[in-house]
């Protein structure tokens, strides 16, 4: 008959290993999940850093080209696609005529009115100038341009 002490010791060792294995498996799953989350966060940080770098380069180029930020110029000019269409109709002008007043193409006016694109700062200023014109002033300016 085997020694009772050695059998009992072997059984306790087997049960302890089994219990440790179960505990370690859940800990390993948690660690794996955390590593995966950490890798996703690192990837997100890299993407945000590259986006920040791109934006900084864009801002630097804009500063080099002399484009001032809206907050530096005083009141900012607002843009609305409906407003462009309303101004053109108020002045009773075709898209081609309105485009000549603003200094852009008729296609650009169409794109602004449809809301597909937005005017640049200089074009916003031209739109603001046209906004203050009346029908007669607009027709006179168009006639003066045609005469030249």
8 Å CB contact between 79 and 124: yes
Q: What's the chain's average pLDDT? A: 87
Distances (CA, A) of 113 to 28, 98, 117, 125: 59, 12, 9, 17
pTM of the model: 0.49
Q: Which CATH architecture has domain 77-147?
A: Orthogonal Bundle (1.10)
d(Cα 44, Cα 70) in Å, to the nearest integer?
Answer: 30
Q: pLDDT tens digits, residue range 104-116?
A: 999 999 999 998 9
Check residue 35 and give its pLDDT: 96
| Residue 97, number of CB atoms within 10 A of its CB | 19
Check residue 71 and give its pLDDT: 46
d(Cα 147, Cα 48) in Å, to the nearest integer?
Answer: 54
What is the average per-residue pLDDT within 25-32?
A: 90
In this predicted structure, the answer to whether residue 137 has a pLDDT above a threshold of 80 is: yes
Check residue 133 and give its pLDDT: 87
SS3 assignment, position 56: helix
């Amino acid at each position: 008959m085997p020694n009772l002490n050695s059998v009992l010791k072997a059984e306790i060792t087997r049960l302890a290993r089994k219990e440790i294995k179960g505990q370690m498996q859940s800990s390993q799953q948690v660690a794996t999940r955390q590593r995966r989350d950490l890798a996703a966060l690192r990837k997100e940080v890299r993407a945000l850093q590259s986006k920040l770098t791109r934006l900084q380069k864009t801002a630097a180029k804009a500063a080099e080209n002399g484009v001032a930020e809206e907050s530096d110029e005083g009141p900012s000019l607002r843009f609305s696609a409906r407003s462009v269409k309303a101004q053109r109709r108020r002045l009773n002008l075709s898209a081609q005529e309105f485009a000549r007043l603003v200094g852009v193409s008729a296609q650009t006016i169409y794109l602004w009115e449809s809301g597909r694109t937005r005017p640049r700062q200089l074009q916003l200023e031209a739109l603001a100038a046209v906004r203050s014109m009346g029908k007669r002033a607009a027709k006179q300016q168009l006639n003066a341009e045609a005469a030249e």
